[in-house]
Amino acid sequence: MSLLPESISRIWRAAPPELRWLRPQDAAACARLHAASFLHGWQAGDFEAYARDEGCCALGAFAGAKMLVGASIARRSGAEAEILTIMVDPAWRGQNIARQLMERTLAELAAQGVSKVFLEVEHDNLAACALYRRLAFADIARRQAYYARADGTRAEAIVMRRDLAN
């Protein structure tokens, strides 16, 4: 379910979203977007902490310079980083926003000296898996029954890694 009425989102989709670093005041919008994208949404306080954390790359895609339509959060630790989440408003999916967020995040991580980036994705999230593979992420492990689903079943996670050239 989109966070915007279809009539408004169609108008705003005419111009590509602007990418900028998230600020603490974007936390509530991040929490709403996360809840619309995942079964277990994160709290606004989580996003506020990520936006303040110098070890995180917290990037947002904004329509009309104010409305959050996508975001990604990555956390660095030394020469490694993990993509913690990436999300796009359902009405804005298919517009290459996730790819733009990932490419900008990966470039920033490389500029900060990160050489390896990891992420986890639900095995049957085919669009996300395809995007990550197009961005040169490779499967390195599987986690059985990792993600909880709304119907009570559990889904396998694929752990992926990409090496960055520094």
**Whether 50 is catalytic:** no
Cα 84 → chain centroid = 7
Asked whether the beta carbons of 3 and 36 are under 8 A apart, the reply is: yes
Residue type, 11: I
Encode pLDDT of 70-94 as tens digits.
Answer: 999 999 999 999 999 999 999 999 9
Give the pLDDT score at 96. 94
**Whether 120 is catalytic:** yes
Per-residue pLDDT averaged across 96-117, rounded?
Answer: 97
Q: For residues 83 and 74, what is the distance between their CA atoms, to the nearest angstrom?
A: 4
* Candidates 120, 122, 146, 156; catalytic one: 120
- pLDDT of 66 over the 90 cut: no
Cβ-based neighbours of 28, under 8 Å, separated by 6 or more = 44
* 6-163 CATH: 3.40.630.30
pTM passes above 0.75 = yes
Asked whether the beta carbons of 161 and 118 are under 8 A apart, the reply is: yes
- pLDDT of 5 over the 70 cut: no
Residue 137: Cβ within 10 Å count: 23
Mean pLDDT of the residues in the chain = 91
Give the pLDDT score at 10. 55
Domain boundaries, the chain: 6-163
The radius of gyration of the chain's CA atoms, rounded to the nearest angstrom, is 16
DSSP state letter for 80: E
Percent of the chain exceeding pLDDT 70 equals 90
